[in-house]
Amino acid sequence: MFTVPVLDIKSDPLDVLLAVIGYRLSMLADSENEDVKALFADRQVTIEIASTESGIARYFNFDNGEFSQHSGHAEKADLTINFKDSMTGVKLLTKGDLPAFMTAVQEGNLSIEGDYSLMMWFNKLAKHIVPTIPDEYQPYFQKAKPYAYKAQKFANHWIGVAKHKLGK
């Protein structure tokens, strides 16, 4: 695994996803949307999301409407979400389904420490992370999907080749 130094992002899929979520949250923190402003207001919270197996950790600080993200473990997190591995984290986070999180906890694929009510709050905030696509642009996205899947297969193939050649 390598790190992109300028962005402080590791090549791990979970770290990339968390960094993107962090960048989107920073955009939301500056948003004029009243619903989003209400979610950010009067909160002083640190949420850490990590993976035990890969050693990936990133934390998000919410401080009365201000937002920041950091690579690594937080000194003191109000809520820690720890996935057993990166791909479990990616799957659960992209699914965005709170009951799936609870099932993962029961199956031992995820541990949560701290204030559980912050899970509900973060879930409300997460609904704003993915911007909605206007209806008039939907056909273009539908046309692009097959090409995205082909690109993903192509990338996965060459990642496998690179890992084999590098002995990882």
**CATH code at position 66:** 3.30.1050.10
- Check whether residue 62 and residue 123 sit in a common domain: yes
Give the single-character DSSP code of 72.
S
Please report which confidence band the pLDDT of residue 48 belongs to, taking 50, 70 and 90 as the band edges. very high
Total tally of structural domains belonging to the chain:
2
- Check whether residue 168 and residue 104 sit in a common domain: no
Contact 61, 52 (CB under 8 A): no
Write out the H or E segment, with its range, that includes residue 123.
helix 117-126
Domain that holds residue 161: 133-168
- Check whether residue 112 and residue 164 sit in a common domain: no
- Check whether residue 126 and residue 140 sit in a common domain: no
- Check whether residue 29 and residue 111 sit in a common domain: yes
- Check whether residue 40 and residue 116 sit in a common domain: yes
Give the single-character DSSP code of 135.
G
Tokens standing for residue 90: 């990616």
Please report which confidence band the pLDDT of residue 2 belongs to, taking 50, 70 and 90 as the band edges. very low
- Check whether residue 119 and residue 37 sit in a common domain: yes
C-alpha angle 159/48/36, rounded to 5°? 100
**Nearest CA to 60 among 50, 52, 51, 70?**
70
DSSP for 80-101, written as a single string: EEEESSHHHHHHHHHHT-HHHH
pLDDT tens sequence across 106-134: 999 999 999 989 988 988 888 888 766 66
- Check whether residue 63 and residue 113 sit in a common domain: yes
- Check whether residue 92 and residue 43 sit in a common domain: yes
The amino acid present at 104, given as its one-letter code, is A
